[in-house]
Each structure stands twice: as C-alpha cells, then as structure tokens.
Structure 1
Amino acid sequence: MSLEKFRLKIEKILVFRNDRLGEFLLIIPALRALKKVFQAKITVVANPYLKELAKCIPEVDEVLIWEPKKHSLREIFSFSSLLRKKKFDLAVIFNPTKEAHLISFLSRIPLRLGYHRKWGFLLNRKIKDEKDQSRLHEVEYNLQLVKEIGAYTEDLSLRIELPQEELNKTQDFLISQTLEPKNYIVISPFCSNSLKEWPLKNFLELAEKLGKDIKVVVTGSREDQERGRLFNGLKERGVLNLIGKTDLLQLAGILKYAEVLISNDSGPVHLACCVGVETVVLFGNTKPSQSSRRWRPWGEGHIVIQKPQIFQIRVEEVLRILKDAIF
C-alpha cells in the first residue's frame, strides 16, 4: 500500500519521547502537525516524571510511561504486548533507541517512522539523523521528521495548558509569599550537564544584586538542594529559595507569572517558552550537538548570551541586559 493511501487509515498514533524535559517539550509543534494532518488520537510515551506535564499538551490524548533505562526482555515484551492491543497505525520515534525501535516492531505497528540508527532497520520509514551537526533548531529537526509522512503545521509555537486548579494554587502561593505576578524574576542556576553551568558564585551575586530592585525566586530539582543552600543566605535581600520544593506543574505556574527567567541551557528554559515567559539564557561554545543554534529558546523575545567559555560571561553584562529589558 502506498504511503498516500495508508495515510487515510491512520487513526491512532504512538509517539516515543521518553528522555528529558527540554527535549520532550520541543516535539510539541511536531505533535500539532501530526494532529492537523491525520486528526488521529495521539498517545505519547514519556519519562515517568513528565507524565502530568505531558497531559497539559493540547494535542496529546493519552500518556504512557517508559523509563529511560535498560529494560529486561520480559519488560520489553510485556510493554509491546500492551501496545499491540491498542492497535496503533503509526509510531513516531523522536529519540532513537534500540528499545523504542524494537518495541514499535514487536507491537506490530504498520508504519514506523524514525531515524536510521540504533537498530533503524526495524523501522520502515526513516531519515538520516543529522542532529549532532546542529544546523537547525531541535523544533525544526522534529518537524523535518514528521514531514517525511506529510505532516506539517503553520503554528510553530510551544504551548501547554495548565489546569485551572494548578493556576489557582500558584496564585495562592504567590500571595502567601507576597509575590505579585510579573513583578519577580526566576533564576534557574543548575542543569543536567555541569559543563554548561554558569559558575554558582555568579548566580549568587546576580541574585543578590537583582534583589535590590525586584524579588527573585530561585528554582531547581531535589538533586540541586545541597548546592542550592547558599541561596538561603539571601532571604533578607529579596531572594526566595524554592530549589527542590516544586514539581514540574508548580514550576510551570511560577514561571507563567514571572517577569523573566534567567538560566543556563536547561529544561526550564523550554518550559518557560511553553507558558509565554521571556528568557535570558547563558551559553558557552560547547560541542556542536549542544549548540545554541539547536537549543536556544524557541520563539520571539528571548535573549541568548554566549561566550567561548560560559564562565567568561560577566555578572555586570547579564545585569545590564536585564535592566535594559525590564527595568
């Protein structure tokens, strides 16, 4: 059967993207393209910690979880059996792994789209993976993949819809902390790759100086709590330390009402984009696959500050850019 004829029969789509926050959010325009062209039910396989956030993507109808680790053959066969019963017509694998390719094959999904590596022979529609060259943004690479089966969209925005209950809780929290919407700045000083982090002492100095003019909220994961304790000493200077104290939905709510996010290249940058908040993002010239061309904040109104080495970015430079932008 030709692809054109098969497209008319696509009613259920399985999407694999079970890695990290930023990578996951950057498939949203591609999901919109799939939904627009096929009008099909979309089931996303996500990292467990992203499950509740994935439900906030308007184009997603169902969320399944699959940890990004090595699984036993028994687990792989069990998950494949579950998927086979759901009778998917199309699988789209955005993060190529041997397990994802094997699962899509064992699930007997007729059309399997992905990249030609990591057991790509198990796919029957594939393109060459050139992402590590960073010629395009990650959003554009994802759209390039689904274009292979004719999916497209003019709406390239990143967008999630937080439940009203979550927004109400965020508003109550802001009141409890005497924080006013659009009158505080969020700083996210950590990321999964320490080589991409601006020195912590710089973030501490930045938070202290910003705290003289506007309230500052510092966020991070539970794994960052020990290093983040240094921000506790800035409480009397208008700095609120929330490192390790929020889940992703709470973080999204706090970002939504912020004036701006200041961060390294990390997942919260893309979350901020999804809730309509401008960002200032610090980059060093890391290896090509981590280039700002590929991972910069998507959309208008964002600022990227980049130097050959991230530690070469000066606190005064970031302060000047922020004051020009918001004060």
Structure 2
Amino acid sequence: MREKKKFKIGLSDSLLGLLFRQALATPEKKRALSTTNFDSILVYSTTALGDYMFNSPALRAIRQRYPSAKITLVVHPKYKDLITTRDFYDDVLFWTNKASDMFTLVSQAKKRRPQLAILLHSHLPYDVVSAAMAGCQYIVRDNYAKPVGKMNRWLTYGLDEFDEHVIARKMKLVSALGCETDNVAMALPCAYEKQPKAEGVIRIGFQLGASTLVRCWPPEYYAELAQRLIASDSRIEIVMIGSAPEKCLAEALMQHVEPTLRDKITSHVGKTSLPQLLGVIASMDLLVTGDTGPLHLAIALRVPTLSLFVTENPCRSGPYQDKGRHEYIYLPLEDPRVVDEQAPLRAISVSEVFEYVERMLTH
C-alpha cells in the first residue's frame, strides 16, 4: 500500500474512532448481519459503467432481500442520464469519490437515516468514511483483494480473496446479507428506443475505445476488418460507437478505409447519450469490442458479442450470462505473440477476428 494511501486511511480511522464509533464492526454485528432487516440502505457503485452492469445482479438480490427498505444508490455523476430505471432502488445520490464533495453526499445521505452501507465498488477510504458519517451502523464492502489496513475494523463484512468472475464476487458479497444469488443476469439501467435498421441489413458494431489504450484493438485493424466484412457480404454495414474522447480512433479507422467503402460505415462515436447508445447497440447483429462497458450493455441486451482480451482474464470480466451467444479471444500477457506492451491487442490478428465473426454470423 502506498504511503499516501496509508496516511489517508490512518487519518480516516482516527476521525471515525473519535466521532462515528457507531459504525465499528463488532462480533455481535457480524453474527446478526444475515438476519437483520434494515429500513434504509446505501448502495455504492461509484466507478465505471461496466462495474455498474456487473453490480446490477447484486442490486436485484438486495431489493429482493429487503423488499420494504428505502434503498439509495450512490453513483458517479457522469452516469446521471443513464441511471433512471429504479426497479432495484428508490433514490439516487451522485458522488465523484472525492473528499471535496463527500460532505455534500453525507448531508444528503443523513436525511435518509441509513443503517447499512453496501460498498459494491468504490474508493477507499472515503467510501467507508462517508457511510459512517451518514450514520450507518453496518458496512459491507468488496475489497477486491486489496489491503484496507485500519479500515477493516469498520467493516461488518469485507470480501477479500475470491478468484472468480466479478458478478460471482458481488453475489458472494451480498450472500453475507442473506440474499438469494441464483439470478446473475445483468439489468439495464434505463429505457431506450431501438434504432431502426433496413430489412435484410446485417449491422456489425465496433466499440473502438476502452478505459485504457492497452485494452483497445488498433483502429487500423478495425479498418481492415471492416473492409473484409463489407467485401464478403453486400448486406453488411458497420456502425462505430464510443465516447467523445474516442473520436480520434474513429477518424483513424476511416483514414485506413478505401474511400469507395466509407458509405457503408457509420460513426456514432461521441454523438449519443447513454440511452441512445443502448438503442444503437440493440440494433446490432454483432458487436466486436475490447473489455469495456458497452460489451456488458450488449450482453444485457442479448446482442451477440465478440470480445478481445489480453490484459484482463475474460473468466473474471468477460461474458457471464447467455454464454452460448458470445465469443471471446484471449491471449494472456505471457503469450509469446504479445510483444507490444503499449498495444498488446495487436497480437490478435485481423484474420482471426474475421474468422470468428464469419462463424458467428452463420451460426
């Protein structure tokens, strides 16, 4: 653990010890956790879109466990337009994970008089601190096998080592509350309208970007794949999706495509709201993507996907439901074909991806 993190944790522990001891974990609380019924609950999912999707089966399980509780979801404000379907929670608060706006979160959360905080995916130590300051007596947290130091004494239950899929981690976490964990299907966070598509068209989506460049397949590879697909079947059209910062990837792809084929490629990169993005994905016959949030949106939409992995193991973050509908290509970092540390997905050839796509379209 870095010294700066240790300092933050030590300071936070001292603050909680002086003013918010109601959140201290005790043997009695640990024994009572699975059988206690709570009236007001905070659930934190303050990281990436893909993380929220992974958390959605646990959100469903929490609602089923506490059908009468007031459940408040805490999410990052960049997903404000997406988090509108509230089947599994009653209200939403927005927080950037930073100390600078933690007191605003605490002020809003205290009005709900929460007793339990479930930290599905959030940042230490301010997640624990904010939950305790809001009045929670019980705190449950997914630690992702990372050291939490003195914060451990504030966790009624903390999940550490558990080397399985992220969704399985979340279900393991909420099982400590007495939740049923059989339903692992991800749930969509908002309503959408499916984008129209002409009859007979085969629409293949390309998600060009990801949270880091090491998770991106090169745009020139996507360009070659687009040309080979369009040449193989006149019914095929290509649709690109992504966020505004990924426009440069779409532009790079188009620069590598023959001018005569460009009218068969449509870019929605940086042009859609998150609900509109769902509508575009829903219209696809197949999505080719790296390990990123839209992959999991497509899985929830029951759209077939071909996902490309090198830096992450798909057994932990790849398709987990409807596995017969999805394929992935995985080369571990230690594979001798992985030679470019800055762009490791270059090791996955266009020919290999093209063969997968052809097989999936005719399956």
Q: TM-score per shorter chain, which class? A: 0.7 to 0.9
Deviations 1:234-291 (CA, angstroms, capped at 9, x unpaired)? 563511111111121111111112111100111110111121112100011x2xxx32
Amino acid in structure 1 at the alignment position of 2:240: V
User: Does residue 306 in structure 1 map to residue 330 in structure 2?
Assistant: yes
Number of aligned positions between the proteins? 308
What do residues 193-235 of structure 1 show as CA deviations (whole Å, max 9, x unaligned)? 1112222211111122223321110111100112321344556
Partner of 1:324: 359
- By how many angstroms is 1:90 displaced? 1.3
Is it true that 1:78 corresponds to 2:104 in the alignment?
Answer: yes
- The equivalences for 1:1-327 within 5 A come to 4=32, 7-39=35-67, 40-56=69-85, 58-68=87-97, 70-72=98-100, 75-95=101-121, 96-115=123-142, 117=148, 120-121=151-152, 123-130=154-161, 135-160=163-188, 162-163=190-191, 166-167=192-193, 170-171=194-195, 174=196, 179-180=198-199, 183-212=202-231, 213=233, 214-232=236-254, 234=257, 236-284=262-310, 286=311, 290-300=312-322, 301-307=325-331, 308=335, 309=338, 310-327=345-362
Residue 5 to residue 304, structure 1, CA distance change in 2 (3 Å): closer
Aligned twin of 2:15: none
Gaps of 5+ in 1: none
- Contact map agreement 2:208 2:246 (CA 8 A) in 1: no
Give, in angstroms, the shift of residue 305 of structure 1: 0.5
1:153-172 C-alpha deviation (Å, 9 max, x unpaired): 32111121643xx31xx43x
Q: For the residues of structure 1 that align with 2:90 and 2:209, how far apart are their CA atoms? A: 32
| 1:127 Cα offset (Å) | 2.2
How big is each residue's C-alpha offset from its partner over 1:127-159, in whole Å with a ceiling of 9 and x where there is no partner? 24236xxx2000011111111121123211112
TM-score, with length taken from structure 2: 0.78
CA contact (8 A) 2:93 2:105 kept: no
Identity %: 25
Q: Per the alignment, in what secondary structure is the counterpart of residue 99 of structure 2?
A: coil
Check 1:179–1:44 CA distance in 2 against 1; reply closer, same or farther (3 A cut). Answer: farther
Q: Say what the alpha-carbon RMSD is for the aligned residues.
A: 2.3
Supply the distance in 1 between the matched residues of 2:294 and 2:199 (Cα, whole angstroms).
21
Higher mean alpha-carbon deviation, 90-99 vs 26-35, is at 90-99
- Secondary structure, aligned partner of 2:242: coil
Separation in 1, partners of 2:189, 2:128: 30
- Aligned counterparts of 2:150 and 2:119: Cα–Cα separation in 1: 12
Report if aligned partners of 2:94, 2:105 keep a CA contact under 8 Å in 1: no
Three-state SS of the structure 2 residue aligned to 1:211 is helix
Unaligned runs of 5+ residues in structure 2 are 1-27, 339-344
- In 1, the alpha carbon distance for the partners of 2:210 and 2:115 equals 37
Is the Cα contact below 8 Å between 1:101 and 1:119 reproduced in 2?
Answer: no
Larger radius of gyration: 2
1:9 and 1:89 in contact (8 A); partners too: no
